[in-house]
Structure 1
Protein backbone atom coordinates (compact mmCIF):
# COMPACT_ATOMS: atom_id res chain seq x y z
CA UNK A 1 0.00 0.00 0.00
CA UNK A 2 1.10 3.56 -0.60
CA UNK A 3 3.06 5.43 2.01
CA UNK A 4 5.47 8.35 1.93
CA UNK A 5 9.01 7.06 1.44
CA UNK A 6 12.21 9.08 1.25
CA UNK A 7 13.91 8.70 -2.11
CA UNK A 8 17.21 6.84 -2.20
CA UNK A 9 18.60 9.31 -4.70
CA UNK A 10 17.75 12.69 -6.18
CA UNK A 11 19.44 13.57 -9.46
CA UNK A 12 19.45 16.81 -11.43
CA UNK A 13 19.49 16.17 -15.17
CA UNK A 14 20.23 18.75 -17.86
CA UNK A 15 17.59 18.86 -20.57
CA UNK A 16 18.31 21.37 -23.34
CA UNK A 17 19.92 23.77 -20.90
CA UNK A 18 17.33 23.35 -18.17
CA UNK A 19 17.53 21.40 -14.91
CA UNK A 20 15.07 18.56 -14.25
CA UNK A 21 14.91 16.83 -10.84
CA UNK A 22 14.49 13.04 -10.76
CA UNK A 23 13.76 10.81 -7.74
CA UNK A 24 14.80 7.16 -7.48
CA UNK A 25 13.57 4.50 -5.06
CA UNK A 26 14.85 0.95 -4.64
CA UNK A 27 17.35 -1.12 -6.59
CA UNK A 28 15.26 -3.80 -8.30
CA UNK A 29 16.15 -5.21 -11.73
CA UNK A 30 12.93 -3.86 -13.26
CA UNK A 31 12.18 -0.11 -13.33
CA UNK A 32 8.79 1.59 -13.18
CA UNK A 33 9.16 5.10 -14.67
CA UNK A 34 6.27 7.33 -13.61
CA UNK A 35 4.89 10.19 -15.69
CA UNK A 36 2.52 12.30 -13.63
CA UNK A 37 -0.52 14.25 -14.68
CA UNK A 38 -1.17 17.95 -14.88
CA UNK A 39 0.38 19.41 -16.93
CA UNK A 40 2.12 21.70 -14.46
CA UNK A 41 1.93 19.47 -11.37
CA UNK A 42 4.95 18.37 -9.35
CA UNK A 43 5.29 14.60 -9.26
CA UNK A 44 4.64 14.27 -5.50
CA UNK A 45 1.15 12.76 -5.75
CA UNK A 46 2.15 10.04 -8.26
CA UNK A 47 5.62 9.45 -6.81
CA UNK A 48 4.29 8.84 -3.30
CA UNK A 49 1.53 6.57 -4.63
CA UNK A 50 3.94 4.26 -6.47
CA UNK A 51 7.25 4.29 -4.58
CA UNK A 52 5.80 1.40 -2.54
CA UNK A 53 6.43 -0.84 -5.57
CA UNK A 54 9.91 -1.24 -4.12
CA UNK A 55 8.22 -3.76 -1.80
CA UNK A 56 7.68 -5.95 -4.86
CA UNK A 57 11.26 -5.73 -6.11
CA UNK A 58 11.03 -2.81 -8.52
CA UNK A 59 13.06 0.33 -8.85
CA UNK A 60 10.72 3.32 -9.08
CA UNK A 61 11.72 6.57 -10.77
CA UNK A 62 9.72 9.79 -11.05
CA UNK A 63 10.69 13.30 -12.06
CA UNK A 64 9.36 16.83 -11.83
CA UNK A 65 8.63 17.73 -15.42
CA UNK A 66 10.17 20.99 -16.60
CA UNK A 67 8.20 23.88 -15.13
CA UNK A 68 7.21 21.98 -11.98
CA UNK A 69 8.39 21.09 -8.48
CA UNK A 70 12.14 21.25 -7.92
CA UNK A 71 12.89 21.47 -11.65
CA UNK A 72 13.55 24.76 -13.41
CA UNK A 73 10.51 26.91 -14.17
CA UNK A 74 11.27 28.92 -17.30
CA UNK A 75 8.68 31.47 -18.38
CA UNK A 76 8.49 30.42 -22.02
CA UNK A 77 5.17 29.09 -23.33
CA UNK A 78 6.86 27.64 -26.43
CA UNK A 79 8.34 24.93 -24.18
CA UNK A 80 4.96 23.51 -23.25
CA UNK A 81 4.46 20.92 -25.99
CA UNK A 82 4.01 17.17 -25.82
CA UNK A 83 6.90 16.63 -28.26
CA UNK A 84 9.35 18.47 -26.00
CA UNK A 85 8.16 16.46 -22.98
CA UNK A 86 8.68 13.21 -24.94
CA UNK A 87 12.28 14.26 -25.57
CA UNK A 88 12.64 15.19 -21.88
CA UNK A 89 11.37 11.77 -20.79
CA UNK A 90 13.88 10.04 -23.06
CA UNK A 91 16.70 12.20 -21.68
CA UNK A 92 15.78 11.21 -18.12
CA UNK A 93 15.62 7.50 -19.04
CA UNK A 94 18.95 7.63 -20.88
CA UNK A 95 20.85 9.73 -18.33
CA UNK A 96 19.77 7.46 -15.47
CA UNK A 97 20.68 4.35 -17.47
CA UNK A 98 17.27 2.77 -16.91
CA UNK A 99 17.21 0.51 -19.96
CA UNK A 100 13.77 -0.84 -20.83
CA UNK A 101 11.15 0.50 -18.42
CA UNK A 102 7.64 -0.19 -17.31
CA UNK A 103 6.26 3.23 -18.29
CA UNK A 104 3.37 4.33 -16.08
CA UNK A 105 1.54 7.44 -17.25
CA UNK A 106 -1.30 8.95 -15.24
CA UNK A 107 -3.80 11.42 -16.75
CA UNK A 108 -1.77 13.89 -18.88
CA UNK A 109 1.18 11.61 -18.16
CA UNK A 110 -0.71 8.92 -20.07
CA UNK A 111 -0.91 11.09 -23.18
CA UNK A 112 2.81 11.67 -22.79
CA UNK A 113 3.39 7.92 -22.29
CA UNK A 114 1.47 7.09 -25.48
CA UNK A 115 3.50 9.55 -27.55
CA UNK A 116 6.70 8.25 -25.94
CA UNK A 117 5.71 4.65 -26.71
CA UNK A 118 5.12 5.55 -30.35
CA UNK A 119 8.44 7.44 -30.57
CA UNK A 120 10.69 5.07 -28.58
CA UNK A 121 9.04 1.62 -28.65
CA UNK A 122 12.38 -0.11 -28.17
CA UNK A 123 12.64 1.28 -24.62
CA UNK A 124 9.45 -0.26 -23.19
CA UNK A 125 9.08 -3.40 -21.12
CA UNK A 126 5.40 -2.55 -20.68
CA UNK A 127 3.01 0.40 -20.77
CA UNK A 128 0.57 1.27 -17.98
CA UNK A 129 -2.09 3.82 -18.94
CA UNK A 130 -3.67 4.97 -15.68
CA UNK A 131 -6.79 7.16 -15.69
CA UNK A 132 -6.02 8.51 -19.12
CA UNK A 133 -7.24 8.72 -22.71
CA UNK A 134 -5.93 8.54 -26.27
CA UNK A 135 -8.52 10.87 -27.84
CA UNK A 136 -9.11 14.34 -26.40
CA UNK A 137 -12.16 15.20 -28.59
CA UNK A 138 -13.83 11.99 -27.35
CA UNK A 139 -12.91 12.92 -23.78
CA UNK A 140 -14.53 16.33 -24.23
CA UNK A 141 -17.79 14.64 -25.19
CA UNK A 142 -17.54 12.46 -22.07
CA UNK A 143 -16.90 15.51 -19.87
CA UNK A 144 -20.03 17.13 -21.31
CA UNK A 145 -21.95 14.03 -20.24
CA UNK A 146 -20.56 14.30 -16.70
CA UNK A 147 -21.40 17.98 -16.56
CA UNK A 148 -24.94 17.26 -17.74
CA UNK A 149 -25.53 15.28 -14.54
CA UNK A 150 -25.38 18.58 -12.66
CA UNK A 151 -28.63 19.64 -14.36
CA UNK A 152 -29.47 21.82 -17.33
CA UNK A 153 -29.54 25.08 -15.37
CA UNK A 154 -26.08 24.47 -13.93
CA UNK A 155 -24.69 23.57 -17.34
CA UNK A 156 -26.19 26.74 -18.83
CA UNK A 157 -24.64 28.76 -16.03
CA UNK A 158 -21.22 27.19 -16.67
CA UNK A 159 -21.45 27.81 -20.40
CA UNK A 160 -22.39 31.45 -19.76
CA UNK A 161 -19.29 32.01 -17.61
CA UNK A 162 -17.08 30.17 -20.11
CA UNK A 163 -18.37 32.39 -22.93
CA UNK A 164 -17.87 35.55 -20.87
CA UNK A 165 -14.50 34.48 -19.47
CA UNK A 166 -15.66 34.79 -15.85
CA UNK A 167 -14.31 31.45 -14.73
CA UNK A 168 -13.45 32.79 -11.28
CA UNK A 169 -17.10 33.52 -10.46
CA UNK A 170 -18.12 31.76 -7.21
CA UNK A 171 -21.04 29.90 -8.77
CA UNK A 172 -18.84 28.56 -11.58
CA UNK A 173 -16.11 27.57 -9.13
CA UNK A 174 -18.70 25.80 -6.97
CA UNK A 175 -19.76 23.66 -9.94
CA UNK A 176 -16.12 22.78 -10.72
CA UNK A 177 -15.53 21.87 -7.06
CA UNK A 178 -18.50 19.50 -7.13
CA UNK A 179 -17.26 17.87 -10.34
CA UNK A 180 -13.79 17.49 -8.81
CA UNK A 181 -15.18 15.68 -5.77
CA UNK A 182 -17.29 13.42 -7.97
CA UNK A 183 -14.71 12.61 -10.63
CA UNK A 184 -11.17 13.56 -9.50
CA UNK A 185 -10.94 12.31 -5.90
CA UNK A 186 -13.93 11.09 -3.92
CA UNK A 187 -12.22 11.02 -0.54
CA UNK A 188 -13.58 13.48 2.06
CA UNK A 189 -10.01 14.58 2.76
CA UNK A 190 -7.53 14.52 -0.10
CA UNK A 191 -4.16 12.87 0.78
CA UNK A 192 -1.22 15.07 1.69
CA UNK A 193 0.81 14.26 -1.49
CA UNK A 194 -2.18 15.31 -3.63
CA UNK A 195 -2.56 18.56 -1.71
CA UNK A 196 1.18 19.28 -2.04
CA UNK A 197 1.08 18.83 -5.79
CA UNK A 198 -2.05 20.95 -6.17
CA UNK A 199 -0.68 23.71 -3.92
CA UNK A 200 2.41 23.98 -6.15
CA UNK A 201 0.61 23.82 -9.50
CA UNK A 202 2.24 25.84 -12.28
CA UNK A 203 -0.74 26.95 -14.34
CA UNK A 204 1.45 28.10 -17.24
CA UNK A 205 1.96 24.65 -18.79
CA UNK A 206 -1.57 23.61 -17.78
CA UNK A 207 -3.41 26.48 -19.46
CA UNK A 208 -1.15 26.37 -22.53
CA UNK A 209 -1.56 22.64 -23.08
CA UNK A 210 -4.94 21.77 -21.57
CA UNK A 211 -7.10 24.68 -20.46
CA UNK A 212 -8.30 26.60 -17.40
CA UNK A 213 -9.74 23.60 -15.49
CA UNK A 214 -10.31 19.85 -15.68
CA UNK A 215 -13.60 20.21 -17.54
CA UNK A 216 -12.74 22.76 -20.24
CA UNK A 217 -10.16 21.95 -22.95
CA UNK A 218 -8.84 24.94 -24.91
CA UNK A 219 -5.06 24.32 -25.03
CA UNK A 220 -2.72 23.01 -27.70
CA UNK A 221 -3.72 19.39 -26.96
CA UNK A 222 -7.46 19.89 -27.51
CA UNK A 223 -7.34 18.08 -30.88
CA UNK A 224 -4.81 15.40 -29.83
CA UNK A 225 -5.91 11.90 -30.88
CA UNK A 226 -3.64 8.83 -31.04
CA UNK A 227 -6.32 6.14 -31.35
CA UNK A 228 -5.40 5.42 -35.01
CA UNK A 229 -1.77 4.87 -33.92
CA UNK A 230 -2.40 2.66 -30.88
CA UNK A 231 -2.16 -0.63 -32.85
CA UNK A 232 1.51 0.23 -33.45
CA UNK A 233 2.23 -0.28 -29.73
CA UNK A 234 3.51 -3.84 -29.32
CA UNK A 235 4.55 -3.78 -25.66
CA UNK A 236 2.17 -5.30 -23.08
CA UNK A 237 -0.42 -2.69 -22.08
CA UNK A 238 -2.50 -2.26 -18.94
CA UNK A 239 -5.36 0.27 -18.98
CA UNK A 240 -6.67 1.15 -15.53
CA UNK A 241 -9.46 3.59 -14.68
CA UNK A 242 -11.60 4.54 -11.73
CA UNK A 243 -15.27 3.60 -11.90
CA UNK A 244 -16.27 7.28 -11.59
CA UNK A 245 -13.19 8.73 -13.36
CA UNK A 246 -13.35 12.07 -15.16
CA UNK A 247 -11.37 10.25 -17.86
CA UNK A 248 -14.16 7.75 -18.06
CA UNK A 249 -14.33 3.97 -18.56
CA UNK A 250 -15.70 4.80 -22.02
CA UNK A 251 -12.31 6.37 -22.76
CA UNK A 252 -10.65 3.15 -21.55
CA UNK A 253 -12.89 1.14 -23.87
CA UNK A 254 -11.88 3.34 -26.81
CA UNK A 255 -8.23 2.48 -26.16
CA UNK A 256 -9.00 -1.20 -25.58
CA UNK A 257 -10.86 -1.43 -28.90
CA UNK A 258 -7.74 -0.17 -30.69
CA UNK A 259 -5.47 -2.54 -28.72
CA UNK A 260 -7.39 -5.82 -28.34
CA UNK A 261 -4.54 -7.48 -26.43
CA UNK A 262 -4.46 -4.75 -23.78
CA UNK A 263 -5.67 -5.59 -20.28
CA UNK A 264 -8.26 -3.37 -18.59
CA UNK A 265 -8.93 -2.88 -14.89
CA UNK A 266 -11.81 -0.66 -13.74
CA UNK A 267 -11.33 0.13 -10.05
CA UNK A 268 -14.60 0.24 -8.13
CA UNK A 269 -15.50 3.03 -5.70
CA UNK A 270 -12.89 5.37 -7.14
CA UNK A 271 -12.50 8.18 -9.64
CA UNK A 272 -9.31 9.77 -11.00
CA UNK A 273 -6.99 8.67 -8.19
CA UNK A 274 -7.77 5.01 -7.48
CA UNK A 275 -4.33 4.49 -5.94
CA UNK A 276 -5.55 6.65 -3.03
CA UNK A 277 -9.31 6.01 -3.18
CA UNK A 278 -9.20 2.20 -3.43
CA UNK A 279 -5.54 1.19 -3.09
CA UNK A 280 -6.28 -2.46 -2.33
CA UNK A 281 -7.92 -3.10 -5.70
CA UNK A 282 -5.61 -0.77 -7.61
CA UNK A 283 -2.35 -2.34 -6.42
CA UNK A 284 -3.68 -5.86 -6.91
CA UNK A 285 -4.32 -5.14 -10.59
CA UNK A 286 -1.04 -3.26 -11.09
CA UNK A 287 1.25 -5.71 -9.29
CA UNK A 288 -0.35 -8.69 -11.03
CA UNK A 289 0.28 -7.09 -14.42
CA UNK A 290 3.87 -6.18 -13.59
CA UNK A 291 4.61 -9.63 -12.20
CA UNK A 292 3.69 -11.18 -15.54
CA UNK A 293 5.66 -8.73 -17.70
CA UNK A 294 8.96 -7.98 -16.06
CA UNK A 295 11.47 -8.30 -13.26
CA UNK A 296 10.29 -8.00 -9.68
CA UNK A 297 9.09 -10.32 -6.97
Structure 2
Protein backbone atom coordinates (compact mmCIF):
# COMPACT_ATOMS: atom_id res chain seq x y z
CA UNK A 1 0.00 0.00 0.00
CA UNK A 2 1.52 3.31 -1.05
CA UNK A 3 1.49 5.96 1.67
CA UNK A 4 2.84 9.50 1.85
CA UNK A 5 2.75 12.37 4.34
CA UNK A 6 3.47 16.06 4.15
CA UNK A 7 2.49 19.54 5.26
CA UNK A 8 0.94 22.49 3.43
CA UNK A 9 1.07 26.13 4.48
CA UNK A 10 -2.24 27.56 5.66
CA UNK A 11 -2.44 31.35 5.93
CA UNK A 12 -4.86 32.94 8.41
CA UNK A 13 -4.65 36.71 8.46
CA UNK A 14 -0.98 37.62 8.85
CA UNK A 15 -0.03 34.23 10.30
CA UNK A 16 1.06 31.10 8.43
CA UNK A 17 0.24 27.73 9.97
CA UNK A 18 0.71 24.23 8.61
CA UNK A 19 -1.77 21.44 7.95
CA UNK A 20 -0.32 17.93 8.15
CA UNK A 21 -1.75 15.32 5.77
CA UNK A 22 -1.44 11.61 5.05
CA UNK A 23 -2.39 9.94 1.77
CA UNK A 24 -3.02 6.26 1.08
CA UNK A 25 -2.82 5.60 -2.66
CA UNK A 26 -1.72 7.62 -5.68
CA UNK A 27 -3.35 11.00 -6.26
CA UNK A 28 -2.17 10.82 -9.89
CA UNK A 29 -3.85 7.48 -10.56
CA UNK A 30 -6.88 9.03 -12.25
CA UNK A 31 -9.16 7.54 -9.59
CA UNK A 32 -11.24 10.11 -7.74
CA UNK A 33 -9.90 10.50 -4.17
CA UNK A 34 -11.79 10.69 -0.90
CA UNK A 35 -11.04 13.49 1.56
CA UNK A 36 -11.69 12.41 5.16
CA UNK A 37 -12.80 14.95 7.78
CA UNK A 38 -12.25 13.75 11.35
CA UNK A 39 -14.40 14.65 14.31
CA UNK A 40 -13.98 16.36 17.64
CA UNK A 41 -13.55 19.16 17.00
CA UNK A 42 -10.06 18.55 18.29
CA UNK A 43 -9.61 14.80 17.80
CA UNK A 44 -6.66 13.79 15.62
CA UNK A 45 -7.03 11.82 12.38
CA UNK A 46 -5.90 8.52 13.91
CA UNK A 47 -9.33 7.17 14.83
CA UNK A 48 -10.64 7.43 11.26
CA UNK A 49 -7.70 5.47 9.81
CA UNK A 50 -9.99 2.46 9.17
CA UNK A 51 -11.14 4.49 6.15
CA UNK A 52 -7.90 3.41 4.47
CA UNK A 53 -9.95 0.27 3.77
CA UNK A 54 -11.47 2.27 0.91
CA UNK A 55 -8.04 2.14 -0.68
CA UNK A 56 -7.21 -1.49 0.08
CA UNK A 57 -10.66 -2.76 -0.96
CA UNK A 58 -11.67 -0.35 -3.74
CA UNK A 59 -8.35 1.23 -4.80
CA UNK A 60 -9.67 4.70 -3.92
CA UNK A 61 -6.96 7.17 -2.82
CA UNK A 62 -7.79 8.46 0.66
CA UNK A 63 -6.57 11.78 2.08
CA UNK A 64 -6.45 12.20 5.84
CA UNK A 65 -5.33 15.34 7.63
CA UNK A 66 -5.16 16.75 11.12
CA UNK A 67 -7.30 19.86 11.33
CA UNK A 68 -5.46 22.87 12.66
CA UNK A 69 -5.03 22.81 16.44
CA UNK A 70 -4.57 19.05 16.79
CA UNK A 71 -2.11 16.26 16.10
CA UNK A 72 0.74 16.98 13.68
CA UNK A 73 -0.75 20.24 12.37
CA UNK A 74 0.03 23.65 13.85
CA UNK A 75 -1.29 24.45 17.30
CA UNK A 76 -2.02 28.20 17.31
CA UNK A 77 -1.16 29.76 20.65
CA UNK A 78 -2.62 32.80 22.38
CA UNK A 79 -5.45 33.23 19.87
CA UNK A 80 -8.88 34.47 20.98
CA UNK A 81 -11.75 32.00 21.17
CA UNK A 82 -13.27 33.75 18.13
CA UNK A 83 -10.37 32.34 16.07
CA UNK A 84 -11.97 28.87 16.18
CA UNK A 85 -14.82 29.10 13.67
CA UNK A 86 -16.47 26.87 11.09
CA UNK A 87 -15.14 29.27 8.46
CA UNK A 88 -11.57 28.58 9.62
CA UNK A 89 -11.98 24.88 8.98
CA UNK A 90 -13.75 25.40 5.66
CA UNK A 91 -10.87 27.63 4.56
CA UNK A 92 -8.41 24.94 5.65
CA UNK A 93 -10.25 22.33 3.58
CA UNK A 94 -10.25 24.59 0.52
CA UNK A 95 -6.55 25.22 1.06
CA UNK A 96 -5.55 21.56 1.25
CA UNK A 97 -7.59 20.74 -1.87
CA UNK A 98 -5.82 23.54 -3.73
CA UNK A 99 -2.35 22.66 -2.45
CA UNK A 100 -2.74 18.99 -3.36
CA UNK A 101 -4.18 19.84 -6.78
CA UNK A 102 -7.49 18.09 -6.14
CA UNK A 103 -10.13 18.94 -8.75
CA UNK A 104 -12.69 16.12 -8.50
CA UNK A 105 -13.20 14.43 -5.14
CA UNK A 106 -15.58 12.75 -2.72
CA UNK A 107 -15.97 14.00 0.84
CA UNK A 108 -16.54 11.92 3.98
CA UNK A 109 -17.14 13.56 7.35
CA UNK A 110 -17.59 11.78 10.67
CA UNK A 111 -19.29 13.42 13.68
CA UNK A 112 -18.00 17.03 13.83
CA UNK A 113 -16.36 16.26 10.48
CA UNK A 114 -19.82 15.50 9.08
CA UNK A 115 -21.15 18.78 10.46
CA UNK A 116 -18.24 20.60 8.84
CA UNK A 117 -18.81 18.74 5.57
CA UNK A 118 -22.52 19.58 5.52
CA UNK A 119 -21.82 23.25 6.23
CA UNK A 120 -19.05 23.39 3.65
CA UNK A 121 -21.05 21.76 0.86
CA UNK A 122 -24.26 23.67 1.56
CA UNK A 123 -22.50 27.05 1.73
CA UNK A 124 -19.60 26.81 -0.74
CA UNK A 125 -20.92 24.26 -3.24
CA UNK A 126 -17.46 23.05 -4.36
CA UNK A 127 -17.70 22.34 -8.11
CA UNK A 128 -15.41 19.29 -7.93
CA UNK A 129 -17.43 17.41 -5.31
CA UNK A 130 -19.07 14.27 -6.67
CA UNK A 131 -20.32 12.29 -3.66
CA UNK A 132 -20.80 13.03 0.04
CA UNK A 133 -20.89 10.76 3.11
CA UNK A 134 -22.22 12.19 6.39
CA UNK A 135 -21.42 9.70 9.14
CA UNK A 136 -22.98 10.07 12.60
CA UNK A 137 -23.48 13.82 12.24
CA UNK A 138 -26.20 16.43 12.79
CA UNK A 139 -27.16 19.60 10.90
CA UNK A 140 -27.36 21.69 14.08
CA UNK A 141 -25.80 21.69 17.53
CA UNK A 142 -29.26 21.94 19.09
CA UNK A 143 -30.21 18.60 17.53
CA UNK A 144 -26.92 17.07 18.65
CA UNK A 145 -27.59 18.13 22.24
CA UNK A 146 -31.17 16.86 22.03
CA UNK A 147 -29.82 13.49 20.93
CA UNK A 148 -27.08 13.17 23.54
CA UNK A 149 -29.34 14.44 26.32
CA UNK A 150 -31.86 11.71 25.49
CA UNK A 151 -29.10 9.14 25.91
CA UNK A 152 -27.86 10.74 29.13
CA UNK A 153 -31.33 10.35 30.66
CA UNK A 154 -31.22 6.61 29.91
CA UNK A 155 -27.97 5.99 31.79
CA UNK A 156 -28.14 4.43 35.26
CA UNK A 157 -29.38 7.09 37.67
CA UNK A 158 -26.17 7.24 39.71
CA UNK A 159 -24.06 7.68 36.57
CA UNK A 160 -26.32 10.39 35.17
CA UNK A 161 -26.40 12.25 38.48
CA UNK A 162 -22.60 12.10 38.76
CA UNK A 163 -22.15 13.55 35.27
CA UNK A 164 -24.73 16.29 35.84
CA UNK A 165 -23.32 17.17 39.27
CA UNK A 166 -19.77 17.72 38.02
CA UNK A 167 -20.90 19.66 34.94
CA UNK A 168 -23.05 21.87 37.14
CA UNK A 169 -20.19 22.47 39.58
CA UNK A 170 -17.52 22.88 36.91
CA UNK A 171 -15.48 19.95 38.23
CA UNK A 172 -15.26 17.92 35.03
CA UNK A 173 -11.60 17.14 35.71
CA UNK A 174 -12.67 15.00 38.67
CA UNK A 175 -11.92 11.25 38.18
CA UNK A 176 -15.48 10.49 39.26
CA UNK A 177 -16.77 12.53 36.33
CA UNK A 178 -14.45 10.79 33.91
CA UNK A 179 -15.59 7.41 35.20
CA UNK A 180 -19.17 8.41 34.47
CA UNK A 181 -18.27 9.62 31.00
CA UNK A 182 -16.51 6.32 30.33
CA UNK A 183 -19.83 4.55 30.92
CA UNK A 184 -21.42 6.80 28.27
CA UNK A 185 -18.49 6.34 25.87
CA UNK A 186 -18.61 2.54 26.17
CA UNK A 187 -22.27 2.48 25.18
CA UNK A 188 -22.58 5.33 22.70
CA UNK A 189 -19.11 6.15 21.28
CA UNK A 190 -17.43 2.77 20.78
CA UNK A 191 -18.63 -0.56 22.14
CA UNK A 192 -15.38 -2.42 21.42
CA UNK A 193 -13.44 -3.23 24.62
CA UNK A 194 -10.67 -2.25 24.95
CA UNK A 195 -10.88 0.60 22.51
CA UNK A 196 -8.91 0.24 19.26
CA UNK A 197 -5.46 1.78 19.46
CA UNK A 198 -6.29 4.39 16.81
CA UNK A 199 -9.24 5.67 18.84
CA UNK A 200 -7.24 5.81 22.05
CA UNK A 201 -4.51 7.74 20.19
CA UNK A 202 -7.00 10.38 19.04
CA UNK A 203 -8.37 10.88 22.54
CA UNK A 204 -4.83 11.07 23.93
CA UNK A 205 -4.00 13.78 21.38
CA UNK A 206 -7.08 15.76 22.42
CA UNK A 207 -6.22 15.42 26.10
CA UNK A 208 -2.68 16.64 25.35
CA UNK A 209 -4.12 19.81 23.79
CA UNK A 210 -7.84 20.23 24.54
CA UNK A 211 -8.06 23.86 23.39
CA UNK A 212 -10.10 23.25 20.22
CA UNK A 213 -12.62 20.92 21.85
CA UNK A 214 -13.09 22.99 25.00
CA UNK A 215 -13.30 26.28 23.08
CA UNK A 216 -15.71 25.12 20.37
CA UNK A 217 -17.83 22.71 22.43
CA UNK A 218 -17.20 22.91 26.17
CA UNK A 219 -16.87 20.26 28.85
CA UNK A 220 -18.78 17.45 27.14
CA UNK A 221 -21.14 16.22 24.44
CA UNK A 222 -24.15 17.30 26.53
CA UNK A 223 -23.12 20.76 27.67
CA UNK A 224 -22.25 22.89 24.65
CA UNK A 225 -21.16 26.35 25.75
CA UNK A 226 -18.42 27.04 23.18
CA UNK A 227 -18.32 28.81 19.83
CA UNK A 228 -20.43 26.08 18.19
CA UNK A 229 -23.29 26.46 20.68
CA UNK A 230 -25.65 28.12 18.20
CA UNK A 231 -24.24 26.51 15.05
CA UNK A 232 -26.72 25.27 12.43
CA UNK A 233 -26.85 24.67 8.69
CA UNK A 234 -30.45 23.43 8.74
CA UNK A 235 -31.60 26.24 6.49
CA UNK A 236 -29.00 25.39 3.83
CA UNK A 237 -28.82 21.60 3.57
CA UNK A 238 -31.61 21.43 0.99
CA UNK A 239 -29.08 22.96 -1.44
CA UNK A 240 -26.77 19.91 -1.25
CA UNK A 241 -27.30 18.50 -4.72
CA UNK A 242 -24.74 15.67 -4.94
CA UNK A 243 -25.58 12.04 -4.09
CA UNK A 244 -25.32 11.72 -0.31
CA UNK A 245 -25.04 8.76 2.04
CA UNK A 246 -26.06 9.13 5.70
CA UNK A 247 -24.93 6.62 8.30
CA UNK A 248 -25.43 6.20 12.02
CA UNK A 249 -25.56 3.40 14.57
CA UNK A 250 -28.50 2.19 16.61
CA UNK A 251 -26.70 3.20 19.82
CA UNK A 252 -25.02 6.24 18.29
CA UNK A 253 -24.57 9.61 19.97
CA UNK A 254 -26.13 10.78 16.72
CA UNK A 255 -29.59 9.29 17.23
CA UNK A 256 -32.21 9.43 14.48
CA UNK A 257 -33.54 12.74 15.82
CA UNK A 258 -30.18 14.30 14.90
CA UNK A 259 -29.81 12.66 11.49
CA UNK A 260 -33.40 12.83 10.22
CA UNK A 261 -33.31 16.39 8.76
CA UNK A 262 -30.48 15.40 6.40
CA UNK A 263 -32.71 12.63 5.05
CA UNK A 264 -35.74 14.88 4.81
CA UNK A 265 -34.06 17.86 3.16
CA UNK A 266 -31.22 16.58 0.94
CA UNK A 267 -32.69 15.69 -2.50
CA UNK A 268 -30.49 12.69 -3.45
CA UNK A 269 -29.93 10.81 -0.24
CA UNK A 270 -29.71 7.29 1.22
CA UNK A 271 -29.68 6.49 4.95
CA UNK A 272 -28.20 3.36 6.53
CA UNK A 273 -28.36 2.62 10.27
CA UNK A 274 -25.99 -0.03 11.61
CA UNK A 275 -27.89 -2.18 14.10
CA UNK A 276 -24.87 -3.36 16.08
CA UNK A 277 -22.97 -0.08 16.28
CA UNK A 278 -22.72 3.12 18.24
CA UNK A 279 -20.75 6.17 17.03
CA UNK A 280 -17.96 4.16 15.37
CA UNK A 281 -19.61 1.77 12.91
CA UNK A 282 -16.37 1.75 10.92
CA UNK A 283 -14.79 -0.09 13.87
CA UNK A 284 -17.83 -1.97 15.16
CA UNK A 285 -19.13 -3.34 11.84
CA UNK A 286 -16.06 -2.67 9.73
CA UNK A 287 -16.59 -5.10 6.84
CA UNK A 288 -20.23 -4.23 6.22
CA UNK A 289 -19.61 -0.53 6.76
CA UNK A 290 -16.92 -0.25 4.10
CA UNK A 291 -18.77 -2.49 1.70
CA UNK A 292 -21.68 -0.04 1.80
CA UNK A 293 -19.56 3.13 1.73
CA UNK A 294 -17.20 1.78 -0.96
CA UNK A 295 -20.04 0.73 -3.26
CA UNK A 296 -21.72 4.11 -2.78
CA UNK A 297 -18.55 6.01 -3.66
CA UNK A 298 -17.80 3.85 -6.72
CA UNK A 299 -21.42 3.78 -7.88
CA UNK A 300 -21.54 -0.02 -7.89
* Same fold flag (TM > 0.5): yes
1:269 aligns with 2:262: no
Q: Which residue of 2 aligns with 1:21?
A: 20
Distance 1:234 1:164 in 2: 45
Q: Which residue of 2 aligns with 1:50?
A: 51
Q: Which residue of 1 aligns with 2:185?
A: 180
Q: CA deviation at 1:214?
A: 2.5
Q: 2:160 aligns with which of 145, 155, 160?
A: 155
Distance 1:179 1:215 in 2: 11
Q: CA deviation at 1:153?
A: 5.2
Q: CA deviation at 1:154?
A: 4.2
Distance 1:187 1:193 in 2: 12
Aligned ranges 1:116-265 → 2 under 5 Å: 116-121=120-125, 122-152=127-157, 154-201=159-206, 202-265=209-272
| 1:108-127 Cα deviation digits (max 9, x unpaired) | 11111112112332131111
Q: Which residue of 2 aligns with 1:96?
A: 100
CA contact (8 A) 1:19 1:72 kept: yes
Greater shift, 254-263 or 93-102, is seen at 254-263
Distance 2:178 2:22 in 1: 34
CA contact (8 A) 2:123 2:236 kept: no
For the residue of structure 2 that corresponds to 1:72, the secondary structure is coil
For the residue of structure 2 that corresponds to 1:252, the secondary structure is helix
CA contact (8 A) 2:69 2:75 kept: yes
Greater shift, 117-126 or 196-205, is seen at 117-126
Distance 1:80 1:263 in 2: 32
1:72 aligns with 2:74: yes
CA contact (8 A) 1:39 1:108 kept: yes
For the residue of structure 2 that corresponds to 1:227, the secondary structure is coil
Q: Which residue of 2 aligns with 1:283?
A: 290
Distance 2:59 2:163 in 1: 47
Greater shift, 250-259 or 65-74, is seen at 250-259
Moved over 6 A (4+): none
Q: 1:36 aligns with which of 20, 35, 38?
A: 38
Distance 1:211 1:123 in 2: 34
Number of matched pairs: 287
5+ residue gaps, structure 1: none
CA contact (8 A) 1:186 1:271 kept: yes
**Aligned CA-pair RMSD:** 1.7
Using structure 2 for the length normalisation, give the TM-score: 0.91
Distance 2:165 2:258 in 1: 27
Q: CA deviation at 1:260?
A: 4.5
Distance 1:65 1:238 in 2: 23
CA contact (8 A) 1:228 1:258 kept: no
| 1:6-36 Cα deviation digits (max 9, x unpaired) | x622121000110111111112411100000
